[in-house]
Amino acid sequence: MKFIARGLNSNRRWFMKKALAAAGATGVGARLLADSPKLSKGDAALLRFAAAAEILESDLWIQYNELGGIQDKEAPGGSGNPTYTAKLENLDSDFPQYIHDNTDDEITHFTFLNAYLMSNGAAPANLDQFRTLPGSTATGSSRNPRLTNLMQLTLDTSWWTRYRSSANNPDLDPNFVFPQAVPGLAKGQFTAIPRTDADLTPDAHIQAIANTAGFHMPTIEQGGSSLYPSMAQRATSAEVLRILISIGPTETMHFQTWSDKAGNAPPLTDPTNGLVFPDLNSPPFGGETFQTNLIMPEPCPFLSRSLPVCSIIRPTETKGVAMGVVKFLTAMGLFIGQPSTFFELLQDLAAEADAAKRPGPD
């Protein structure tokens, strides 16, 4: 943990000023500093890992917003890319507004979590030293350095069939392989944003990029849907539990919104790389496993097959959940270009969060 402390403490004063300004240092922030009890080591680790995850989410959503969302004081940075935005709107005419609102949500999540940590005397999450990756240089991008890489993604889209399965739950069936919605996305590296203006043509290519974004967004948000209830099971403080179960459902709202929009991705083949987006309502897909308007979680086995099926978030197994998130995001290619020290930091944060434990038997 020495590496984390050194990285966090070097910018602690800056983060304190920024986070308490967001909380209102003369109001809520000052009261928390004066009145709140200290956090347990485990509860602080849970919130710090959640804050780090939200910082990473904010970084990728800001990139989406700069090119395909609405730019304003809530989510500033870019100027928009009309061609990319138009292709996103083929999935839903409200896509730019949804991107903007998702971006704003994630920024408020990490800002609140860091402010709460510091108000209780705990170190915040800080990844600023790793904000060095080059991003898109296409029209609309701020060209700011990034934490995340949206241009070499390998996507696991098995969440699509996992949430439509009435027979299997990854918590009960860890070895069951759920089919991919877009198998091609799991077999290469694909960009979800135009890398340069050269990506704006041909037409099917930029639509494929927008389709990739359409599937990447729910892929990210389903991870958050599981992370928060999984970590909540390890919280010892009622207030920390309240934080986790209050933020978590917003991630699920995001997931359901984006899973609905992904179903509208136009079937096509990218002429530049052969990536296929299938018609999920037609053979060899089709049926309830792939049907695009089935966006409510199908009831599935929960806790024990001796109990009736239940519609739930899945998975919610708590053992190793934070490390699982790190592995999931890394395998996605989101951190291609980051140094080894970045991965060491994430693994340390995850290990501390996974070590948090409620008193008594699990």
Q: How many CA atoms does the CB half-sphere of 228 hold within 13 Å?
A: 23
> Is residue 17 scored above 50 in pLDDT?
no
> Is residue 1 scored above 80 in pLDDT?
no
Mean pLDDT for the chain overall: 91
What was the pLDDT predicted at 361? 57
H or E segment and range at residue 313: none
Per residue in 41-51, pLDDT (tens digit) is: 999 999 999 99
Per the CB < 8 A criterion, the answer to whether 352 and 49 are in contact is: yes
Per residue in 309-338, pLDDT (tens digit) is: 999 999 999 999 999 999 999 999 999 999
Has residue 362 been placed in a domain?
no
Per residue in 272-309, pLDDT (tens digit) is: 999 999 999 999 998 999 999 999 999 999 999 999 99
Cβ–Cβ contacts within 10 Å for residue 340, how many? Answer: 7
CA-to-CA distance for 41 and 314, rounded, in angstroms?
27
Short-list 98, 324, 49, CA closest to 217: 98
Per residue in 58-80, pLDDT (tens digit) is: 999 999 999 999 989 888 889 99
CA-to-CA distance for 217 and 101, rounded, in angstroms?
13
- The whole-number average pLDDT for the span 193-208 is 98
Phi and psi angles of residue 269, each rounded to the nearest 5 degrees, phi first:
-120, 125
What was the pLDDT predicted at 360? 67
Share of the chain above pLDDT 70, in %: 89
Per residue in 123-141, pLDDT (tens digit) is: 999 999 999 999 999 999 9
What was the pLDDT predicted at 30? 38
Amino acid identity for residue 216 in this structure: H
Cα→Cα distances 33→25, 41, 46, 122, 124, Å: 9, 18, 20, 11, 14
Per residue in 210-241, pLDDT (tens digit) is: 999 999 999 999 999 999 999 999 999 999 99
Has residue 99 been placed in a domain?
yes
CA-to-CA distance for 90 and 93, rounded, in angstroms?
7
What residue has token string 């090119």?
67
Q: What is the DSSP letter of 49?
A: H
Residue 347's contacts (CB-CB under 8 Å, 6 or more residues apart) are 323, 326
> Is residue 209 scored above 50 in pLDDT?
yes
Residue-by-residue DSSP string for 72-83: STTS-S----HH
Residues in the chain: 362
What was the pLDDT predicted at 14? 37
Short-list 27, 30, 232, CA closest to 118: 30
Cα 296 from chain centroid?
Answer: 19
Per residue in 345-361, pLDDT (tens digit) is: 999 999 999 999 987 65
What was the pLDDT predicted at 38? 83
Helices 238-262 and 41-68, packing angle to 10 deg: 30
What was the pLDDT predicted at 42? 97
Tabulate helix, strand, coil % of the chain (nearest 5): 50, 5, 45
Cα→Cα distances 28→31, 37, 54, Å: 5, 15, 21
Residue-by-residue DSSP string for 278-300: --TTSTTS-STTT-TT--SPPPB
Cis, bond preceding 96 (omega within 30 deg of 0)? no
Confidence band (pLDDT; 50, 70, 90) for 35?
very low
Cα 255 from chain centroid?
Answer: 9
Confidence band (pLDDT; 50, 70, 90) for 248?
very high
What was the pLDDT predicted at 358? 84
> Is residue 200 scored above 70 in pLDDT?
yes
Has residue 192 been placed in a domain?
yes
Q: Give residue 246's domain range.
A: 2-355
Has residue 124 been placed in a domain?
yes
Cα dihedral across residues 349, 355, 359, 362: positive or negative: positive
What was the pLDDT predicted at 263? 97
Q: Tokens at residue 272, please?
A: 């530049």
This prediction's pTM: 0.90
β strands within the chain, DSSP E: 268-269, 276-277
Cis, bond preceding 284 (omega within 30 deg of 0)? yes
What was the pLDDT predicted at 260? 97
Has residue 360 been placed in a domain?
no
Cα dihedral across residues 82, 87, 92, 95: positive or negative: negative
The total domain count for the chain is 1
